[in-house]
Amino acid sequence: MTTLVIGNYSDIDHAALTRTFDPVFIAGPGDLAGLPADTRAAVRAVCYKGHAKFDGSAMDLLPALGLIANFGVGYDAIDVTAATARGVKVTNTPDVLNDDVADLAVGMLLSQVREMEQASAWARSGHWAAKGEYRLNRKFSGGKVGIVGLGRIGREIADRLAAFKMEMHYYARSEKQTPGWTYHADPVSLAAAVDYLVVALVGGASTEKFVSKDMIDALGPRGIIVNISRGTTIDEAALLDALETGRIGGAALDVFLNEPNIDPRFYALDNVVIQPHQGSGTVETRAAMGQLQRDNVSAFLAGQPLLTAVN
């Protein structure tokens, strides 16, 4: 046995992993210490899926470890610095999920602006027949949108929103080549310039609470925030306060702190679209992510170049 699988995988991925590697399966990094020492000593590669911290102390329980292959584009649960110090490579599964995540971000924003959940409830409850038309809401096309993080996924979101005749603004660590979109070196300036703010940052310590109270306040009472990155990238307490007091107009969120046990204040708000962290959650994309994860492990075990190395 050279491969260990950590995390909750679908039946399809579980079967594919079994066929390909005949691995040992455990639920989380906390179960490593319970494995027999000779089993841990034989592990060369780990297939990892989840948000529990995979840190240096966990890696030290696997003395022959050479690869952690992450299921997902975000790898903030893995201590890459600790892995690099131990000569352990890390891979992720980028690009194959860009379309699905971007599609959901646009769908959430459209749902928020056009009040699609509330309008559906109006019709389903019988109010449409008994009380008449649903209230007028807000035009979507032609607004001003700011993308926070114009990486692979951010660019896909921006391209989609440009088709809605949006005025495009963005923040990134450096100016990008775009079709004339407006670059903001200051994220607060970006928030002040737009109607809609879409957060597409990587997770991790460097972006924790990047979307600050100042940014939220700059967005203003008609502003809407979309987050498809990580719950850590927004100052969640400041966001909840602003939503509850009407200092911003609304939010559309696929990610939260402490998910799935999110702050119950969100459920009391009718100006928030809530999704259960399902940005990449289609059959096709999850299959592609699983295949890319397995391909990285196969390449490592065969001594071939990794397909999507992080470090």
- Domain membership flag for residue 61: yes
* pLDDT confidence of residue 189: 98
pTM here? 0.91
Residue-wise pLDDT for 184-219, tens only, equals 999 999 999 999 999 999 998 999 999 999 999 999
**Nearest residue to 275 (alpha-carbon basis) of 258, 295, 259:** 259
Q: Does any domain span residue 7? A: yes
Among residues 117, 247, 259, 265, which one is catalytic? 259
Residues 209 and 66 in one domain: no
CATH of the domain at 127: 3.40.50.720
Are both 181 and 227 inside the same structural domain?
A: yes
Active site residue 230: yes
Q: Indicate whether 80 and 219 sit together in one domain.
A: no
| Over residues 140-168, mean pLDDT | 97
Count of domains observed in the chain: 2
Q: Is residue 178 part of a domain?
A: yes
Host domain of residue 32: 3-96+283-301
Same domain, 175 and 189: yes
Please indicate, yes or no, whether residues 167 and 189 belong to a single structural domain of this protein: yes
Q: Could you confirm whether 244 is annotated as catalytic?
A: no
Instruction: State how far the Cα of 176 lies from the Cα of 110, in Å rounded to an integer.
Output: 26
Residue 307 lies inside a defined structural domain of this protein: no
Q: Are residues 108 and 53 in the same domain?
A: no
For residues 123-127, give the mean pLDDT: 97
Residue 306 within any structural domain of the chain: no
In a domain, 311, yes or no: no
Q: Is the pLDDT of residue 1 over 90?
A: no
Residues 83 and 196 in one domain: no
Residue 171: pLDDT band with limits 50, 70, 90:
very high
- 123 and 139 share one domain: yes
pLDDT of res. 230 = 95
Q: Are residues 114 and 192 in the same domain?
A: yes
> What is the distance between the alpha carbons of residues 163 and 168, in angstroms, rounded to a whole number?
11
Mean pLDDT of 284-291: 97
Asked if residue 309 belongs to a domain, the reply is no
Residue 310, in any domain of the structure: no
Select which of 230, 236, 286, 294 is catalytic: 230
Residue 277 a catalytic site member: yes
Number of Cβ within a 10 Å radius of residue 121 = 13
Residues 158 and 51 in one domain: no
Asked if residue 262 and residue 196 are part of one domain, the reply reads: yes
- Do 157 and 223 lie in one domain? The reply is yes
The percentage of the chain sitting over the pLDDT mark of 70, rounded to a whole number, equals 100
